Structure 1
Amino acid sequence: MKGTVLIIDDEPSICASLEFALENDYEVWSATDPEKGYDILEKEAVDLCLVDLKIGRESGINVLEKIKASHPQTAVVMITAYGTISSSVEALQKGAYSYLTKPLNMDELSAVIERAFQYQQLHKKVDYLTSELEKKYDRDGFFARSEAMNKVFKLMEKVKQVNTNVLITGESGTGKELVARSLHFSGVRSREHFEVVNCAAIPEQLLESELFGYEKGAFTGAVQAKKGKFEAAHKGTIFLDEIGDMPLSVQVKLLRVLQRKEVTRLGSNETLHLDVRVIAATNKDLKEEVSKGNFREDLYFRLNVIQIHLPPLRERMDDVPLLARHFIQTLNEELGLHIEGLTKKAEAALRNYAFPGNIRELRNIMESSMVIAEGSKIDEGDLPETVTGGKDQHVYSRENIGWSLKEVEKNHILRTLEHNSWHRRRTAEMLGVSERSLRDKIKLYELTPQKPAESAGGE
């Protein structure tokens, strides 16, 4: 992708000559007054500005300060025919990347621009890695000690140091993205970008452009070129979440990218070669989706080189107290609370709950319970009725011998819907699942609101 340069100089001839000199290597805009330059900065993604030290009555130093205040990531190179030591030092102190004097030496200018672009990319990478590596994506980040998760950890240890594609399966809320991040940030690509795409959250007409990028003018609304997620993940990892919801039309193009290891932006004829590790995740049975014609078999085999299956929380109940304590600690910091932990009754109630929304639901339960708790610890009465079995609620636990897991899930979703008067967003939040996942479950179990019973006396 070409870098983008904005020239702000009050001499039209300077703007024209610089545009002519740079347009083969960069995408170039120019403005003869600062206000027009600010407008361009708001509308376009500008990497670097060339700013004259004196623009009519306006000081270039003031323009520099305004640019850095509103667009701190944009590099600024000052140019002037009136170069002095004091003005160059002031410009650098105010955030300019470099300082050149007229008449400009084009070889020197090109070298400065290239160094500025390299510095920007390095700076962006350092910021990105600093923020990501502050998080903990090793084994301890999962807060698990169950045998079921130990098997997952052993497989992850083998997979993280290779570049093989991975398919992570499991119900909603089991921590699939955490596994993907751990594989990346503890593996051989940890110093490169980790890009996330939720295939279920992006409309079909936008998903292709999000994945593969587009050029300016490729379609209505494409006012500037945009790098796709695959391109951004070059040398790193792309995580395709909810891959089972990807439309067939996009699956075809994704398969081509994986086979050829190259991508072409929408509206472009230029092919970009890629080195990207693909980690995909789904809460659906992709084999079943293949048999139904909803998912391409060749894409399934391309993604499913190594499969990591995450067990639902109800199959790793030994991890519940550990996770609960972790959430209490982190939520105390986020919410400014001082909850010390769980009472024995509260812990027992959590251990006997089926958690259809898995870890995500447990976190939501901890948050709501912490907010309403009156004591220093969360007691059984602070937990939601869906957990403890309050009025008009069923307790779906390991004590319900003979119930299939589908029966547990179906009845729990129905009761939670009824509790929320069939408000789907509130129900999804309470269950710790996405609205789309909830909608799929309602369709799967053919759940419908029950009509109120007619009065005995008739009309």
Structure 2
Amino acid sequence: MKPTVLIIDDELAICDSLRFALEDDYYIQTTTNPQEGLAKVRQDMIDIVLLDLRIGSINGLDILKEIKQQVPSTTVIMMTAYASIESSIEAIKQGAYYYIEKPINIEELYLLLSRAVEYKQLSNKVETLHEELEQRRGYNQFLGKSKAMQHVFSIIDRIKDIDSSVLILGESGTGKELVARSIHNTGKRKNGPLEIVNCGAIPEALLESELFGYEKGAFTGATQRKEGKWVAANGGTLFLDEISEMPLPLQVKLLRVLQERELTPLGSNKKIALDVRIVSAANKNLEQMVQEGKFREDLYFRLNVIPLSIPPLRERKEDLPLLIEYFLEKYCLEMNRAKKTFSRAAYQLLLEYGYPGNVRELGNIIEYSVALSINDEITEMELPLSVQTQRSAFTAPSNRDNQLQLPIGMTMKEVEKEVIAATLQHCGGHRQKTAQVLQISERSLRDKINAYNLKEKK
């Protein structure tokens, strides 16, 4: 298929002569009106524009600038009877491929057009590869080519440059923090700070000072001033992970800051204006917590302006090959191991596994396998036992035959105690794993262990 060339020149004779010289090898369109030329570039599939530097009283560089703004992929060659170093440099700066002097040498023009066509084809290939890579890798190393993840990437792209609050919802291990980082790193605030606070990992007594800060001498032990995360995030983004674990008294203070967009650190009389975008995340049902009185309704609506749900890995298994490849390469590199592969049987087990711990669990499984493997091929026997037997390490724990026997008449507190105790035993006393199984934070698990006086396996 012949490339299409648009000639924009105020001299009709030049347009006609160039048409006659080039029409055997190119589809030629001409116009003496620069605005008509711009319309053709927008509406038609124009490959190359031959643009005069002077079109009556109009500066061709202004038309060049508009072409590159409206259709950046269009290749433009400037034509000029007033060639100078300054004009040629400015044309290249504005995005022109090259320039040619009048009167035009047809052989020179043919050579230039041939190179321009090659350049155009190469640019199209690069753009296609870039688009494929973006679809393959997603955002900010957030991998996924499934429809579910492409939908997530689409939402990120639409919300990255606005300041509305985002609430990220999803099971543990789905990558909620990575989504928050993607929103920040690809948006208009990417040059500002990103501060992260895990509300479930910080003791309640310290969470307030971590968020809001304090002045020296504000309380006993405050030997120096501490800048809170709110202020540290000014001009950027504050990510509040496990927001469901924030105590009710702190929820009130958080709501006030969200409403007023300013705060006063403890021990200070000075208000600090805030320009911070809030992104929060939860793996619990906040609506249910609101109904139970465990989470403030007004705060929930403040945070949940734009909800973004991350699908669990079991609902996007078409992404498994991509994720397996990524983690395998990552851990081989980190452990300084030669490139490894999975045997057919091992790979099939990985594809069939349920991944209740989602992407985080997949990464752990592959890290384990790379660490323990002896040869370049990882066999099914070098996978974790839970994958070999297709039984998740996070299935319901048991005291006998993988079943927890609960007599009728037990109170809910007694049931909770028995379930926590059995899960602790099943997980070998591992708190983090136990908390993931029960879908509660480690802090909540610690409080329940203390409340029920449960003994942990050391």
TM-score range, shorter chain: 0.5 to 0.7
Q: Any idea what the Cα deviations from partners look like across 1:118-176, whole Å, max 9, x if unmatched?
A: xxxxxxxxxxxxxxxxxxx9626112111111111111111111111100000111000
Q: Residues 140 and 165 (structure 1 numbering): CA distance in 2 closer, same or farther, change over 3 Å? A: closer
Q: Residues 437 and 323 (structure 1 numbering): CA distance in 2 closer, same or farther, change over 3 Å? A: farther
The answer to whether the 8 Å contact 1:428/1:438 transfers is no
Matched, 1:165 2:165: yes
User: For residues 414 and 185 of structure 1, what CA distance do their matches in structure 2 show?
Assistant: 42
Alignment of 1:50-129 (within 5 A): none
* Structure 1 residues without counterparts, runs of 5 or longer: 1-136, 398-412, 450-459
Q: 1:396, CA displacement in angstroms?
A: 9.1
- Large movers: runs of 4+ above 6 Å: 394-397, 413-416, 429-435
The answer to whether the 8 Å contact 2:216/2:224 transfers is yes
Q: Any idea what the Cα deviations from partners look like across 1:422-443, whole Å, max 9, x if unmatched?
A: x123745997988628949x99
User: For residues 199 and 234 of structure 2, what CA distance do their matches in structure 1 show?
Assistant: 19
Q: 1:333, CA displacement in angstroms?
A: 2.1
Q: 1:415, CA displacement in angstroms?
A: 9.3
User: For residues 185 and 261 of structure 1, what CA distance do their matches in structure 2 show?
Assistant: 22
The answer to whether the 8 Å contact 1:199/1:245 transfers is yes
Matched, 1:347 2:338: no
User: For residues 228 and 138 of structure 1, what CA distance do their matches in structure 2 show?
Assistant: 32
Q: 1:371, CA displacement in angstroms?
A: 1.0
Q: 1:343, CA displacement in angstroms?
A: 2.1
Q: Which residue of 2 aligns with 1:56?
A: none
Q: Which residue of 2 aligns with 1:424?
A: 430
Matched, 1:283 2:289: no
Q: Residues 262 and 186 (structure 1 numbering): CA distance in 2 closer, same or farther, change over 3 Å? A: same
Amino acid at match of 2:196: V
User: For residues 260 and 394 of structure 2, what CA distance do their matches in structure 1 show?
Assistant: 49
Q: 1:416, CA displacement in angstroms?
A: 7.8
The answer to whether the 8 Å contact 2:199/2:246 transfers is yes
Q: Secondary structure at the match of 1:308?
A: strand
User: For residues 139 and 350 of structure 1, what CA distance do their matches in structure 2 show?
Assistant: 24
Q: Any idea what the Cα deviations from partners look like across 1:249-268, whole Å, max 9, x if unmatched?
A: 00000000000000110111
Alignment of 1:145-294 (within 5 A): 145-294=145-294
Q: Secondary structure at the match of 2:196?
A: strand
The answer to whether the 8 Å contact 1:174/1:358 transfers is yes
Aligned residues: 294
Return the index of the structure with the highest Cα Rg. 2
Amino acid at match of 1:195: E
Matched, 1:374 2:380: no
Alignment of 1:12-27 (within 5 A): none
Amino acid at match of 1:259: Q
* Structure 2 residues without counterparts, runs of 5 or longer: 1-136, 396-419
Identity in percent: 48
Amino acid at match of 2:320: V
Amino acid at match of 1:318: E
Q: Secondary structure at the match of 1:142?
A: coil
Amino acid at match of 2:161: Q
Amino acid at match of 1:436: E
Q: Secondary structure at the match of 1:307?
A: strand
The answer to whether the 8 Å contact 1:354/1:396 transfers is no
Q: Which residue of 2 aligns with 1:305?
A: 305
Q: Which residue of 2 aligns with 1:405?
A: none
Matched, 1:436 2:425: no
User: For residues 290 and 435 of structure 2, what CA distance do their matches in structure 1 show?
Assistant: 30
Q: 1:357, CA displacement in angstroms?
A: 0.9
User: For residues 440 and 366 of structure 2, what CA distance do their matches in structure 1 show?
Assistant: 18
The answer to whether the 8 Å contact 2:194/2:237 transfers is yes
User: For residues 148 and 185 of structure 1, what CA distance do their matches in structure 2 show?
Assistant: 21
